[in-house]
Structure 1
């Protein structure tokens, strides 16, 4: 493994844990639907998984800028693996006690906001500034490829071996990912300790910088509304496909696989278009187009047509992510990057639980998914239009 570059070791670690994440997302959603028959509980579980981003993002940013980055990533994967084992044991019960399940999902989901700023801030140390957009595209390609293969393979595994066994596989992937982290040779020494006073000062410094940088902050506001709209639909995707469109789990997984092709193509396209257009224009236009195609979802009912439209939405959404991550990494000083990542991520993720809960509630009172899809598309389009007029849209 020593002949592999440090970036590729990080990439392999991300790949392995991401494979497990796909199994986790599909399995837990289907387990809750099968045992409760409730779209509300399924959407609530989805929303709860994002609540920790509100509570722990700022702490994660201060941790990233203070302690050894390799150690943070290693222990994050180890703890995630242990908590996934606990989750697998819990869902194997005949009857789910929902508040207990909510609590386990909350703790498991709390690891990501604690280590994501570290993951983002270590990237510039593993690659040069000129290669950052390519590195981000390669990282995103993992998600994109798994968007194609994950639903189909994951759906097949769940059908053949059960959702609980899929969670056991997810646990193993975290432990393997931790092994790859240990092989990274770059030195990321700690910069001291982090008592309460230092933590508060560190968070204030990161928040002041983030709010003061109008371009970066405008992007996080755009993603706040984008994520709200996106998760109004995504939180109930499996319910919509399996209960309202009457598709099988494998057919729904196939639609998600087709959608992933758009994300994969975006990973190759983004570095090329970034040579000709400013980051702000790319972000605002791609967001508006994603909103328009989201509205088009209400016209689709067949597996291939749902997958095709989702593919277009994913294409523009992936361009968003790669472009914004690269803009942030290039413009923010390395000693504060972790905290800026945490602040902007917290802002952009704060809307996800709200959007997930709202869509679950609307379904529970009889609102159709078509209405929810149209509403989500309009909100996303307006987010892009607002970004065009903001400091982000004027960024050169």
Structure 2
């Protein structure tokens, strides 16, 4: 009887799954809303201070609390209702943006306000990320995960298309009050959509008897037995240092300082990134990978080469084209990696394992922001920083072609229909 029920569950198309559709709707408002806020915050920081070190600190302040609290977020996701966590994450962001709007209206906005706000957003990320990534496998079957992750990525990657385009337009037409007001509304709608998700109550008595420290130890012990998890985390640990800081800080700085561009030009580059990422997600939704590990490493090699060439961009349009290509390759790397982890992890461990992956893999990200900002501050050209970083990313990818655990992984596919 149980086998029959399971088989019927597997055959349910993804878009007939009410809870998963609601999660998509929430992401469709949440991610673009965040990007509308982000382009507003970036451009506001660039306008209220000429010191580009503070611009780098905008990313650093979000990365530090995210890094410190991710494991706490994973434990909370395994213990509490994931829907509730996602609701409070989006709702609290909307409230924070409301405070920012008041500061702008009263003409009291200062650099430290943006830095503190960035830190609070980082705290929210630490709880929302493991909740989201561990919620997806509870709504879908294993053979639906790559496709489900791809659709989630599609909604998330519409955000770099709609977000920067809408944000840049609103800054030009309505100023910073307009751009942040739209971000506030979108995040509020995202939090409301999450409330309509209905999850089955699961027994959590065993978890309640354990202390958070016991949960944490259990997560580490589980990960140590999974060689694939260790391999992926080690690779991502070093990649983030050479990619996260240079790309996040480099794009706005190159647009404004090297190409003397406007908020609209920055929106163009970030929109190109969104289009590329969306195309990559669509590609992965229909592409059944025969050798996912090999595909990841080939995509990563191409990403490194493209990143280096981006450092030599002659104009904004060339940069936008390369950023779009890099976004496609990033999806080809990220979606199979997430699917690998979700398929090989027990559901009751998903929150801890996904947060552990993010904690370890992004461990050097704050350092990357500081190092990149410091190098720029002492006069090193951001374009050369990106060029060298791209070469290192390529070398890391080539080195991992020796990793049998990554190369040998096969994704499970079923007969699921959309």
> Scaled by the length of structure 2, what TM-score is found?
0.88
State which of 339, 342, 352 in structure 1 corresponds to 2:365.
352
| 1:107-146 correspondence to structure 2 within 5 Å | 107-146=120-159
Identify if the C-alpha distance between structure 1 residues 87 and 382 changes in structure 2 by more than 3 Å, giving closer, same or farther. Answer: farther
| 1:40-189 correspondence to structure 2 within 5 Å | 40-92=53-105, 94=107, 96-189=109-202
For 1:97 and 1:176, how far apart are their aligned partners in 2?
A: 28
Structure 2 counterpart of 1:243: 257
| 1:223-238 correspondence to structure 2 within 5 Å | 223-231=236-244, 232-238=246-252
Contact 2:231–2:405 (Cα < 8 Å) also in 1: yes
Partner secondary structure for residue 79 of structure 2: coil
Superposition deviation, residue 230 in structure 1: 2.2
State which of 253, 265, 282 in structure 1 corresponds to 2:267.
253
Question: Cα deviations across residues 286-307 of structure 1 (Å, max 9, x unaligned)?
Answer: 1111001101112312222111
Superposition deviation, residue 83 in structure 1: 2.1
Identify if the C-alpha distance between structure 1 residues 208 and 247 changes in structure 2 by more than 3 Å, giving closer, same or farther. Answer: same
Superposition deviation, residue 343 in structure 1: 0.4
For 1:86 and 1:128, how far apart are their aligned partners in 2?
A: 41
Superposition deviation, residue 318 in structure 1: 1.2
Contact 2:32–2:162 (Cα < 8 Å) also in 1: no
Residue 353 of structure 2 is aligned to residue 340 of structure 1: yes
Runs of 4+ in 1 over 4 A off after TM superposition: 91-97, 192-197
For 1:327 and 1:210, how far apart are their aligned partners in 2?
A: 13
Partner secondary structure for residue 50 of structure 1: helix
For 1:60 and 1:38, how far apart are their aligned partners in 2?
A: 33
Superposition deviation, residue 388 in structure 1: 2.2
Aligned length: 393
Identify if the C-alpha distance between structure 1 residues 174 and 304 changes in structure 2 by more than 3 Å, giving closer, same or farther. Answer: same
Question: Cα deviations across residues 272-318 of structure 1 (Å, max 9, x unaligned)?
Answer: 444321x3212222111100110111231222211111111111111
Partner secondary structure for residue 168 of structure 1: helix
Structure 1: gaps (5+ residues): none
> Scaled by the length of structure 1, what TM-score is found?
0.93
State which of 215, 229, 236 in structure 2 corresponds to 1:216.
229
Structure 2 counterpart of 1:18: 31
Question: Cα deviations across residues 22-66 of structure 1 (Å, max 9, x unaligned)?
Answer: 111101111111001221111111121111222111111111111
Structure 1 counterpart of 2:282: 268
Superposition deviation, residue 269 in structure 1: 1.9
Contact 1:144–1:264 (Cα < 8 Å) also in 2: yes
Contact 1:214–1:391 (Cα < 8 Å) also in 2: no
Superposition deviation, residue 200 in structure 1: 0.4
For 2:112 and 2:262, how far apart are their aligned partners in 1?
A: 29
| More deviation, 165-174/280-289 | 165-174
Superposition deviation, residue 370 in structure 1: 1.8
